[in-house]
Amino acid sequence: MTRQADVIVAGAGIAGSSAALQLAALGHRTILLDRQEFPRHKTCGEFMSPETKEMLAVLGINLVSRTPAPGNMNKARIILPRGGEIGAPLPGNATGISRYELDRILHEKAESAGAEIVTKAVVTGIRKLDDNRYEVDTRQGDRKVSYQALAVIGAYGTKKPRGVASGAEDTRDNTVYIGIKSHYRGIAIPEQVELYFCEGGYIGISPIEDGKVNVAALLTLDSVQGRGKSVQEILQKAAGGNRHLTARLAEGTPVTDTQVSIAPVRLSDTPEPWSEFPHIGDAMLMIPPLCGDGMSIALRSALICSGWTDRYLKGMISYEEWQTGYSAEADQEFTRLLKRARRIQKLAFAKTNRLYPGLARVFPGLARYVIKATRLSETGMAR
């Protein structure tokens, strides 16, 4: 069976559902595909940086006015393994909302704009046909369903689906990480995001909706070998390297069925906005999560890409202009930000335990860097 559409968006996370919402609202027949069923929990720190508000407003979404109210954060606290601490105000109010809730809201909006969402649809191949149309193959249970469309957008996150051609070269870093997360109840933190460093990585705690907190970690795969198999075991072991974190986690209890993990996670060396079709979100650029800007980049790349794709679908620009225009804008927008973020990641992953005295001197700068330098300004350019 082959179905027709104007545009297929592969992956219905924050980037894909935002792009589908925009394109459907602009009148294009839009199909959004995802391998998972929604709502679902997703490995993420769930810290939405202040500038995401502006982009969500473009999509007609105001999280702050929702019930239950999301978490609010106006400060960051960095807690080093031996107890040293750095605090700094955020350049605006950040929002804490679970991906379970955020992605549900985006899907609701995309559907009411006219997008069709097909879940439990695993994308197994994307091909460009001779006339610049695309064919997208999916597996839906024991059925194979194909789609043909004028445009495809890759929004499948950090792991490229099998059967999708790679770009010219591998643009991801060689270090392999694992991301894990769990919600907790009973941990009362003030309006702040807390970042705890431990051997092999860091753990972020932020308040989300309904009085819960999200606990998410990024750890090198090497450092978790032999440290247990479940999210809870890995978290507890990692927390063992930072007594303040151990004490924090002991205040609460994990919320059942919110534990998820993702591996392997590999960070980008350079943005990859295009292979045979445009990429957005983590498929375009996986930035160190420490910077708390992944969702901001997902939203911004989705908005930029929808603009170029809309003009292409309306015949206002050629296929080549669609490709070069989006690639150039994405490169310009995100390359500088990525370079700074990678420098921070390097500092953060220096041997924190052994080099602590030196690190304490570096960290005040790092804290400012994390909080200010990686933020996208209102015009989208990194400061």
Among 42, 77, 212, 237, which residue sits at the site for ligand FAD (rule: CB under 6 A)?
A: 42
Contact yes or no for 80/213 (Cβ under 8 A):
no
Determine the size of the site formed for ligand FAD (CB under 6 A).
Answer: 38
- Closest contact distance (angstroms) between CB of 36 and ligand FAD is 4
Cα end-to-end span (Å), the chain: 49
- Closest contact distance (angstroms) between CB of 77 and ligand FAD is 14
Residue 338 sits at φ, ψ, to 5 deg, of: -65, -40
CB nearer to ligand FAD: pick between 139 and 244: 139
CB nearer to ligand FAD: pick between 28 and 42: 42
CB nearer to ligand FAD: pick between 51 and 310: 51
Q: Which positions from 173 through 232 interact with ligand FAD, judged by CB under 6 A? A: 179, 216, 218
Site membership for ligand FAD, residue 20 (CB under 6 A): no
- Closest contact distance (angstroms) between CB of 256 and ligand FAD is 20
CB nearer to ligand FAD: pick between 69 and 122: 122
Site membership for ligand FAD, residue 294 (CB under 6 A): yes
Among 134, 147, 156, 312, which residue sits at the site for ligand FAD (rule: CB under 6 A)?
A: 156
Binding mask 233-262 for ligand FAD (x = CB under 6 A): -----------------------------x
Among 7, 28, 35, 273, which residue sits at the site for ligand FAD (rule: CB under 6 A)?
A: 35
DSSP string, 174-211: S--EEEEEEEEES----SEEEEEEETTEEEEEEE-GGG
Q: What separation in angstroms does the CA of 231 have from each of 92, 180, 215, 262? A: 32, 6, 11, 10
Among 7, 12, 215, 359, which residue sits at the site for ligand FAD (rule: CB under 6 A)?
A: 12
- Closest contact distance (angstroms) between CB of 179 and ligand FAD is 3
- Closest contact distance (angstroms) between CB of 320 and ligand FAD is 26
Among 5, 9, 45, 241, which residue sits at the site for ligand FAD (rule: CB under 6 A)?
A: 45
**Closest by alpha carbon to 121, among 16, 33, 31, 13?**
33
CB nearer to ligand FAD: pick between 233 and 321: 233
Q: CA-CA distance, 238 to 233, in Å (whole number)?
A: 9
Segment lying near ligand FAD (by CB under 6 A), choices 66-74, 237-245, 275-283, 339-347: 275-283
Residue 134 bridge partners (DSSP): 128, 149
One-letter amino acid identity for 186?
A: G
DSSP string, 256-316: TT--EEEEEE--BSS---BSSSBB-GGGT----GGGS-HHHHHHHHHHHHHHHHHHHHTTS
* Neighbouring C-alpha atoms within 13 Å toward the C-beta of 293: 29
Quick one: residue 11, left, alpha or beta (phi over 0 = left, psi -120 to 50 = alpha)? left
Q: Which positions from 301 through 360 interact with ligand FAD, judged by CB under 6 A? A: none
The conformation of residue 348, written as its DSSP 8-state character, comes to H
For the chain, the residue count is 383
The tokens for 239 are 């927390």
- Closest contact distance (angstroms) between CB of 315 and ligand FAD is 28
- Closest contact distance (angstroms) between CB of 369 and ligand FAD is 16
Residue 109 sits at φ, ψ, to 5 deg, of: -65, -45
CB nearer to ligand FAD: pick between 44 and 115: 44
Q: CA-CA distance, 203 to 216, in Å (whole number)?
A: 6
Site membership for ligand FAD, residue 293 (CB under 6 A): yes
**Closest by alpha carbon to 249, among 79, 75, 88?**
79
Segment lying near ligand FAD (by CB under 6 A), choices 10-18, 228-236, 320-328, 368-376: 10-18
CB nearer to ligand FAD: pick between 43 and 192: 43
Give the interface with ligand FAD as residue ranges (CB under 6 A): 10-16, 33-36, 42-47, 122-123, 155-157, 161, 179, 216, 218, 262, 265, 281-283, 289, 292-296, 298
